[in-house]
Amino acid sequence: MFVINCPYCGEREQSEFKAGGEAHIIRPKQPTELSDDEWAEYLFMRKNIKGVQFERWNHAHGCRKWFNVVRDTSNDAIKAVYKMGEKPPTY
Amino acid sequence: MLNYSNVITEEKSYTGLQMKEIKPIMKLIIRGKKREFLSAIGKSLNLLLPTEANTSSRSDKLTALWLSPDEWMIYCNKISSFDNNEYEIENLLNKNISKMNLGAVTNVTDQFVLINIKGDKIFDLFATGSPFNFNDFRKKEGSVTQTILAKIDVIIHNQNKNEVNLFVRRSFSQHLFSWMNDSASRL
């Protein structure tokens, strides 16, 4: 359990949010030209690292907005929160 | 207001806590992002929409609650008549907002149930079932939050000291009301 600082509503408890997986995955420009392996790579393969990870979160029981969170998966420490479309901080 | 069979039939009171449904209350959800949208709402209703998070604004007739950066709920301060299913304000906003392509207006009068809670133990009751920190919320008159109460999505509006309005979806209202009564009886 941890507290997330929603960029729109302020600090809220984790149970108000839904996790949306890894952030900044770019959809291939020409999906029809990809092989099945490349397409599967885009659809299913995630880094799942131990350490600092960039994630998408949705404030499902509050403002219902999507935003990005930088979270350390080993201890759930949240390093940064930024809105969709903003430049990600470096870690 | 359509005359649904009502699930919350009585007013309940406990030491330091009274709760009842207030009906029928006109409620609208409005959505829009443009600057013209905000000014068109202001002109049509004579009410400035709150742009600061978790706040509300109020005129003689209406209250506007901030729900998200581009979403607000507007509700009437007074009850409307039972046999009337026409809403002047909705028609006005449809004309000035929807038809001008500035934003969206949705009538949620029958979707949300308004439960009015009074007393000095309101926040003790909420603390038993909500992850939200009400410390700052209770001090500030007019503050608004969308959060979870007993795992149910609710909108809570701090009216003034010891009085809040709580909005809950109709299908959840009976369960929430009975949960609140159960919880209040043990405070």
Mean pLDDT of chain B: 91
The CATH number that domain B11-24+110-187 falls under is: 3.30.1360.120
Q: Which residues contact A82 (CB under 8 A, 6 or more apart)?
A: A7, A67, A68, A70, A88, A89
B181 close contact with A: CB closer than 8 A: no
- The CATH superfamily of A3-83 is Folate-binding superfamily (3.30.2270.10)
Rounded to the nearest angstrom, the minimum Cα separation between A59 and chain B is 10
Q: Does domain B27-108 have CATH number 3.30.70.1520?
A: yes
State the average pLDDT over residues B157-173: 93
Contact (CB<8Å) B69/A62? no
Q: Does position B27 have pLDDT exceeding 60, yes or no?
A: yes
- pLDDT for position B11: 86
Q: Which residues of A touch B (CB under 8 A)?
A: 8-13, 15-16, 61-65
Q: Does position B5 have pLDDT exceeding 70, yes or no?
A: no
Intervals of CATH 3.30.70.1520 along chain B: 27-108
Contact (CB<8Å) A16/B133? no
pLDDT tens track for B31-79: 999 999 999 999 999 999 999 999 999 999 999 999 999 999 999 998 8
Selecting from A8, A12, A16 the residue whose C-beta is nearest the C-beta of B69 gives A8
State the average pLDDT over residues A8-33: 93
Domain ranges in chain A? Answer: 3-83
- pLDDT for position B7: 73
State the average pLDDT over residues A14-29: 94
Intervals of CATH 3.30.1360.120 along chain B: 11-24+110-187
Strand order in the sheet with B17-22: B12-14, B17-22, B112-118, B163-169, B152-160, B144-149
Distance (Å) of CA B60 to CA B33, B115, B117: 25, 21, 21
pLDDT tens track for A50-87: 999 999 999 999 999 999 999 999 999 999 999 999 99
Higher pLDDT, B163 or B85: B163
Contact (CB<8Å) B53/A9? yes
Residue numbers in A near B67 (CB within 8 A): 63
Distance CA A59, CA A66 (A): 7
Distance CA B37, CA B34 (A): 5
